[in-house]
Structure 1
């Protein structure tokens, strides 16, 4: 009987390790584009980090991914509510408001950022 409980505990620990370490695939992008209402005429690249969740995360989460977006030395935005619709990731803000999208096919990003306005640009996979 002790062997049975030891086996169950070992399986539970191994399952937990797999869930913690392999539940998301991370991709990082550098996006070049422009703001509809650029701030002080400055245009800088935007950096994007995507944690694409594995199928089993859907057992406890409604989101298909998590996205971080950074304007260097300015802001970092987090989108915890992300829906995969076809080849696009739809980003939703804190009030479940649609904020933008990222195309997995063309790698195009369109997003509404506070203080900066709407950004549209093309992203390339970062080697960092």
Structure 2
């Protein structure tokens, strides 16, 4: 009886470790485009780290992933709620505040960075 209980505990721990470590695939992009703030446009480079959740995360979450957007030496924005509309990933500050989108098909991105402005551009995959 004790062996069965220990076996079940070990199996539960291994399952938890698997789910915790392999529930998301990470992608990184470098994005070139324009940032618009206070009526003026400036060229800018932005970096996007995107985590896309595996199918089983949908058993307990309605988000398809999370995203970090970095404007080097200025700001980092985190979007903890990502939804999918075909090839378009939509970023939300909260479930009711839409903040931008990213096309996994074309690489186009448009994202509101709060007080830093709105970035529009295109992204290319970077491997690190």
Q: Give 1:56 deviation, angstroms.
A: 1.1
* Matched residue, 2:22: 22
CA distance in 2, matches of 1:40, 1:73: 19
* Matched residue, 2:99: 99
* Matched residue, 1:12: 12
CA distance in 1, matches of 2:77, 2:4: 47
Superposition map of 1:87-126 within 5 A = 87-94=87-94, 96-126=96-126
Q: Which moved more, 1:78-87 or 1:40-49?
A: 40-49
TM-score, normalised to structure 2, is: 0.91
CA distance in 2, matches of 1:7, 1:83: 38
Aligned length: 128
Classify the secondary structure of the residue corresponding to 1:44: strand
Check conservation: 1:100, 1:112, Cα contact below 8 A. yes
Q: Give 1:39 deviation, angstroms.
A: 8.8
CA distance in 1, matches of 2:27, 2:91: 16
**Structure 2: stretches of 5+ with no match in the other structure:** none
Classify the secondary structure of the residue corresponding to 2:120: strand
Q: Give 1:113 deviation, angstroms.
A: 1.5
* Matched residue, 2:32: 32
Q: Give 1:94 deviation, angstroms.
A: 3.6
TM-score, normalised to structure 1, is: 0.91
- RMSD of Structure 2 on Structure 1 (CA): 1.8
Q: Give 1:61 deviation, angstroms.
A: 1.6
**Structure 1: stretches of 5+ with no match in the other structure:** none
* Matched residue, 1:51: 51
